[in-house]
Structure 1
């Protein structure tokens, strides 16, 4: 009887963690993306190793990281306007198809042994342009796929678990394939993997979404979205912390081949193992977030997670042990994903529907757009003071940013609270008990 009750409790907990999958369209999206993202991570690992094998240059690693992500910083706001104006499904089908073509072209050149460095840079830049449009459109598209609004936070957490499950599997496979068959096979598998998400998106049955009346000039809508996002303190502070962590901390990825080869004295297998360690920590983070039932308390999670990420990066920079380095990276992966997914959930919850695409484009700029600048800086600085000192500085900056955000939470809570009340997230307010709610304000808002 006790065992039966325990099994029922586990089943209930599992259903709670997977509740967003009750929506058919989201199930299709989840399945297609799960396949495609494995290929994406395989390509990322293979690309970094290919560049370092051909050039042996930390600076060129930074350059490739820069050109693959700087278009996000420049073009994501335009993508946000398009996401608010046009139907998102055809836009996503177009971006996924273009990404598939890019991977296929790269595979052909690498497999035939005719891959000049300039071509790698050019194809990386092309993929960066595609991603600049794909990411904010895809982020805002998720809202259309979830039938129950209260399941949105769970869907975002499951998205993160999907990304990090792929981060766990993809680099591990890529490490083996690069060492045995070369980088080209990873690019070929990635090209094929895009078919899964293209088929899934095409098979969705979507409700008609009314077009926004009275469209204005694109520059006017950009200014409107920027003013909306940065005039509201909670959105502005979340985006600023994301930008800081992406600029100073996230570039550790482009320096990873140096640590694998020079610090830990390994090869492609070691590189894949280190990347998989990040995925393990991040996957654990998403399981924790998926088990949460409310957005309340995520503000504190953001602050703590940024500090955990900074500590993990600093520890990895100081380590020369093949045992400790993966542990620090797992800690960094946990912190990074907890911060990003919690930020995404709060933003998606508090933003007005007609400005969702633009706010998510600013989220993309902060999360993805600042990284290329940081990658270029990290590559240049690592050439002068070494990769380990570069990561130490970045880790310290993330720790400081998380601490400052945590100190500011008490000023942000009163601004977010009315939105939570209107949405029925705070139970006492939803029941009309405003006075009682004021006296018992949840200590973890927002």
Structure 2
């Protein structure tokens, strides 16, 4: 009997030892599965909201509640991460994600009609707030998992790849689960995926906690202090990214219209278009991951080239050529914007002092979604007033993006950042 009980315990200890030995891979895979579950759950909620009320505004609101909290919460999330430590914030954020997802699953059997819609939207809002804290804390936490400074850049870039893979596979998984199991089980399985990173963090990780630098209470712990203390090159990176996103990061909001104009009214059009964008994002992320250490030291080259590629691809799309040409341009847009966002995050994380990295992650998210959110609104307004509508807007903003990229490449061609530090 003693041997019967001891054998599973020994096997469990061996498994834990193996997972801890390969903790970076373990954490990356757990985060990837959770990301796929998030997109699957978002897809299921969107279908339920559309089927229940038939109101497209609810779909827009569902997406807005997922993304807009970042603009409000990123600052406090960064401050808290630097103040109490990335691991504590990360674990709490994962539990909050789980609770928000459970609320979505419970909304199906416990409510109906408008009340059900409200609970689903509240669940999405909870996921949006919690994911902001999770992303901010994770960006700082990963530096505690690497042994050498040169490993930090490629490891950070790997999360961009895994995010875009989850974005690619999550929606079809959500649709399949919804059709095969029904909404309650589909959303329950989405919630269950958050337990994997929680178990990984609590049971498998052995971070170098002694390396983490925390801020003290007071003005020195504020977001403004991080902005002033990060240095002029990193402030330029954040400002440039915000402007580049304002000019060229409008495709997420206009994806349905782009797919309709490029591929036609088929129900598969949006799926094909977003899949091509995601494939480009994955390819760009893989390329960045392989050259992370070198390109992070030359922000002008990295960010200027990404913005130039996106701008030229938008110009190419404005030519309104054959479908194959349009899809090729969409692929390049995905690659360029993914490298811009992941590259900015890479630069501000590996080249900022460790004590500032939580707040730098918050500032980066504000630049991404602040510029991107305004870009979608600006592009939508331009479509109604420019000759050529959508195609004229693509030409104008693509041209501006190309010029912006060329200017960055020229003006910052001599800028070099120092070696990466883990402290």
TM-score range with shorter-chain normalisation? 0.7 to 0.9
Q: Residue 161 of structure 1 contacts residue 287 of structure 1 at CA under 8 Å; is this kept in 2?
A: yes
Could you say what secondary structure the match of 1:74 adopts? Answer: helix
Task: Decide which of 28, 31, 34 is 1:30's aligned counterpart.
Answer: 28
Higher mean alpha-carbon deviation, 179-188 vs 80-89, is at: 179-188
Structure 1's 152 and 398: CA in aligned 2 closer, same or farther, altered over 3 A?
A: farther
2:39/2:167 contact within 8 Å kept: yes
Distance 1:22 1:235, change over 3 A: farther
- 3-state DSSP of counterpart to 2:334: helix
**TM-score normalized by the length of structure 1:** 0.75
State the 1:300 CA deviation: 1.7
Work out the number of aligned pairs and report it.
Answer: 396
Q: Distance in 1 between the 2:58 and 2:376 partners?
A: 10
CA drift at 1:164: 1.9
Q: CA RMSD in A?
A: 3.7
* TM-score, normalised with respect to structure 2: 0.79
- Aligned residue in 1 for 2:335: 334
CA shift in 2, pair 1:198/1:22, >3 Å: closer
Alpha-carbon shift at residue 76 of structure 1 (Å): 0.9
CA 411–303 in structure 1, closer or farther in 2 if over 3 Å, else same: closer
1:161-240 matches, cutoff 5 A: 161-177=161-177, 186-202=186-202, 203-209=204-210, 215-217=216-218, 221-229=222-230, 232=232, 234-240=233-239
The CA deviation string for residues 265-306 of structure 1, in whole angstroms up to 9 with x for no partner, is: 222x44333322222111111221222252345532321222
Q: Does 1:284 align with 2:298?
A: no
Aligned residue for 2:140? 140
Cα deviation 1:182-228 (Å, max 9, x = unaligned):
66655333212112211111120122336757723258622211223
Q: C-alpha deviations, 1:35-72, integer Å up to 9, x for none?
A: 11111222344445555555666655444333322221
Does the C-alpha gap of structure 1 residues 240 and 120 become closer, same or farther in structure 2, counting only changes over 3 Å?
Answer: farther
Aligned to 1:361: 362
Q: 1:436 maps to what in 2?
A: none
Unaligned runs of 5+ in 1: 1-20, 424-446
Q: Report the equivalent of 2:112.
A: 114
* Contact 1:172 1:272 (C-alpha < 8 Å) held by counterparts: no
Contact preservation (8 Å) 2:383, 2:392: no
Partner Cα distance (1:366, 1:416) in 2: 22
CA distance in 1, matches of 2:189, 2:123: 17
Contact 1:63 1:375 in 2 (8 A): no
Change (3 A) 1:306 1:410: closer
Q: Which runs of 5+ in 2 are unaligned?
A: 1-18
Asked if structure 2 preserves the Cα contact closer than 8 Å seen for 1:241 and 1:401, the reply is no
